[in-house]
C-alpha cells in the first residue's frame, strides 16, 4: 500500500480490486482521519459523493466510496475518459499550474504524422488535461452547490420575514378591532351621559316649579292667617247677638287643605331631591367609565403605533438583509466562475483538436 502523500486528485487507484479515480482527499465529518473519495468505474459503490447530507464530490449514484488513503494502491492501467469527467472539487490553483503543460505536450507536429514514441509521450499530457478538465467541472459544481445553499438561506430568511409579517398583521387587526369596540362603547356612553344630563335638567326644572308652588302656598297661608286675625278683631267688636250668629264659612277647611297640600309638596320635593342626587351619582359613574375607556383607547392607539413602527423596522431590516445576502452570493459566484470561464476560454484557443476530443472523452486516449 502507498502512503497518503503519494496521491493527488485525479489519480487512478484500486480500492481492493475495484478500479477508480480519486475525487476527494481530506477530512470528513462522519469519521476521524484522512479519507479518500473515489469514483469507481462500475456502480458497486455506496453513494454519489455525499454522506449524511454533506457533499464532498459529485458522481453517478452507487459509484462513490470513501476509504482510508493508506488502503489505496496505484493503478497504472489507462482509464476511460468518462471516469475522469466524474471527478469533483479540487482547487483552481492546480488547474492553472497544469494548463501550460497540457498545451505544450499536445501541440501536434506539422511536418509528419505522430509516431509511437510521440503517442506515448502525449499520454501523460492527455491525462493531465483530463484532470484539469475534471477539476474545472468539479469546481463549478462546488460553486453551484454553494450558490444553492445561499439561495436556500435567502429563502429561509424570506419565509421567516413573511411569518413575522403575518403575526404582526394579526396583532394589528386585533388592536384595530379593540379600538373599534372602544369607540362604539364610547359613543354609547356619550349617549347615556346626554340622556342623564337631560334627566337631571328635567328634575331641576320640576324642583324649581315645586319651590314656586310652595311659595304660592305659603303666601296663601299668610293671607288666610291675616284674614283670621282680622276676623278675630271683628268678633271682639260684635254685640252678643251678632256674635251668636255666624255665617257659614269654609276658611278652616281651606286652611287644612292648604296645610295638607304643603305637606305633600314637601314630600314630593324631598323625593325629587333624592332622584336628583341619584341621577348625579349615576352621571359621575358614567363619566368615570368614560375616562377609563378613553385611557384604554389611548393605550391601544399607542400600541398600534409601536406595532406600525416595528413592522416598518422589520421591513427595512429584512429588505436590507435579503439584498445583502443576494449581493454577497452573486459576488461569490461571479468571483468563483469568472476565473474558470477564462481558463476554459484559454483552453479552447490553444489545445489541438485531437487533445480536446481526448479531454471530453470523444475519442479514447492513445
Give pLDDT tens digits for 224-252.
888 888 877 776 776 666 556 555 556 66
HSE at residue 29, side-chain half, CA atoms within 13 A, is 7
Dihedrals phi, psi of 24, to nearest 5 degrees: -155, 140
Distances (CA, A) of 28 to 34, 36, 66, 116: 7, 9, 9, 43
Query: Quick one: average pLDDT of 275-288?
Result: 88
Q: Is 62 exposed, middle or buried (0-12, 13-18, 19+ CB in 10 A)?
A: middle
Grid cell locating 312: 416598518
pLDDT in tens, 10-39: 999 999 889 999 999 999 998 888 899 999
User: Helix 92-106 crosses helix 251-349 at what angle (to 10 degrees)?
Assistant: 30
At residue 327, the pLDDT reads 82
Residues 6+ apart with CB under 8 A from 158: 318, 322
Show the cell assigned to 94.
492546480
Pairing label, strands 73-74, 12-15: antiparallel
- Residues 288, 188: Cα–Cα separation, whole Å: 14
**pLDDT tens, position by position, 113-160:** 343 333 333 344 344 467 677 777 888 888 888 888 888 989 999 999
Cα dist from 130 to 5, 49, 140, 321, whole Å: 21, 19, 15, 42
- The grid coordinates listed for 70 are 493508506
Query: Which grid coordinates belong to 262?
Result: 304643603
pLDDT of 93: 34
Inter-helix orientation angle 116-236/251-349, to 10°: 170
Q: Is the pLDDT of residue 330 over 70?
A: yes
Looking at the chain, how many residues does it have? 366
**pLDDT for res 235:** 67
| SS3 of the chain | CCCHHHCCCCCEEEECCEEEEEEEEEECCCCCCEEEEEEECCCCCCECCEECCEECCCCCCCCEEEEEHHHCEECCCCCCHHHHHCCCCCCHHHHHHHHHHHHHHHCCCCCCCCCHHHHHHHHHHHHHHHHHHHHHHHHHHHHHHHHHHHHHHHHHHHHHHHHHHHHHHHHHHHHHHHHHHHHHHHHHHHHHHHHHHHHHHHHHHHHHHHHHHHHHHHHHHHHHHHHHHHHHHHHHCCCHHHHHCCCCCCHHHHHHHHHHHHHHHHHHHHHHHHHHHHHHHHHHHHHHHHHHHHHHHHHHHHHHHHHHHHHHHHHHHHHHHHHHHHHHHHHHHHHHHHHHHHHHHHHHHCCCHHHHHHHCCCCCCC
The predicted pLDDT at position 43 comes to 93
Residue 183: partners with Cβ closer than 8 Å, 6 or more residues away: 297
Cell of 221: 297661608
Whether 175 and 304 have beta carbons less than 8 Å apart is answered as: yes
- What's the average model confidence in pLDDT over 37-44? 94
> Under a CB-based contact definition with an 8 Å cutoff, are residues 362 and 115 in contact?
no
pLDDT at 49 over 90: yes
Amino acid at each position: 500500500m502507498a502512503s497518503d502523500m503519494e496521491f493527488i486528485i485525479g489519480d487512478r487507484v484500486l480500492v481492493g480490486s475495484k478500479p477508480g479515480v480519486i475525487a476527494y482527499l481530506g477530512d470528513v465529518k462522519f469519521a476521524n482521519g484522512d479519507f479518500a473519495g473515489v469514483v469507481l468505474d462500475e456502480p458497486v459503490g455506496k453513494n454519489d459523493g455525499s454522506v449524511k447530507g454533506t457533499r464532498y464530490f459529485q458522481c453517478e449514484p452507487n459509484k462513490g466510496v470513501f476509504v482510508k488513503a493508506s488502503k489505496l494502491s496505484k493503478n497504472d492501467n489507462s482509464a476511460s475518459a468518462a471516469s475522469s469527467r466524474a471527478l469533483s472539487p479540487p482547487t483552481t490553483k492546480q488547474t492553472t499550474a497544469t494548463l501550460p503543460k497540457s498545451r505544450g505536450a499536445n501541440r501536434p507536429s506539422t511536418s509528419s504524422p505522430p509516431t509511437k514514441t510521440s503517442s506515448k509521450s502525449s499520454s501523460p499530457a492527455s491525462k493531465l488535461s483530463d484532470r484539469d478538465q475534471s477539476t474545472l467541472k468539479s469546481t463549478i459544481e462546488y460553486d453551484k452547490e454553494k450558490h444553492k445553499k445561499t439561495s436556500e438561506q435567502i429563502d429561509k430568511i424570506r419565509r421567516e420575514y413573511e411569518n413575522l409579517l403575518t403575526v404582526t398583521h394579526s396583532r394589528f387587526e386585533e388592536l384595530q378591532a379593540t379600538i373599534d369596540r372602544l369607540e362604539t362603547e364610547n359613543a354609547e356612553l356619550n349617549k347615556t351621559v346626554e340622556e342623564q344630563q337631560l334627566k337631571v335638567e328635567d328634575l331641576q326644572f320640576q324642583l324649581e316649579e315645586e319651590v314656586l308652588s310652595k311659595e304660592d302656598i305659603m303666601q296663601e297661608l299668610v293671607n288666610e292667617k291675616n284674614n283670621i286675625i282680622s276676623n278675630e278683631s271683628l268678633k271682639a267688636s260684635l254685640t252678643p247677638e251678632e256674635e251668636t250668629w255666624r255665617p257659614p264659612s269654609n276658611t278652616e277647611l281651606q286652611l287644612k287643605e292648604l296645610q295638607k297640600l304643603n305637606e305633600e309638596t314637601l314630600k314630593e320635593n324631598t323625593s325629587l331631591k333624592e332622584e336628583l342626587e341619584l341621577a348625579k351619582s349615576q352621571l359621575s359613574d358614567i363619566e368615570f367609565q368614560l375616562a377609563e375607556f378613553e385611557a384604554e383607547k389611548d393605550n391601544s392607539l399607542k400600541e398600534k403605533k409601536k406595532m406600525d413602527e416595528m413592522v416598518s423596522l422589520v421591513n427595512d431590516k429584512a429588505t436590507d438583509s435579503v439584498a445583502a445576502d443576494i449581493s454577497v452570493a452573486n459576488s461569490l459566484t461571479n468571483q468563483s466562475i469568472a476565473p474558470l470561464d477564462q481558463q476554459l476560454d484559454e483552453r479552447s484557443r490553444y489545445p489541438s483538436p485531437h487533445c480536446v476530443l481526448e479531454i471530453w472523452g470523444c475519442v479514447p486516449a492513445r
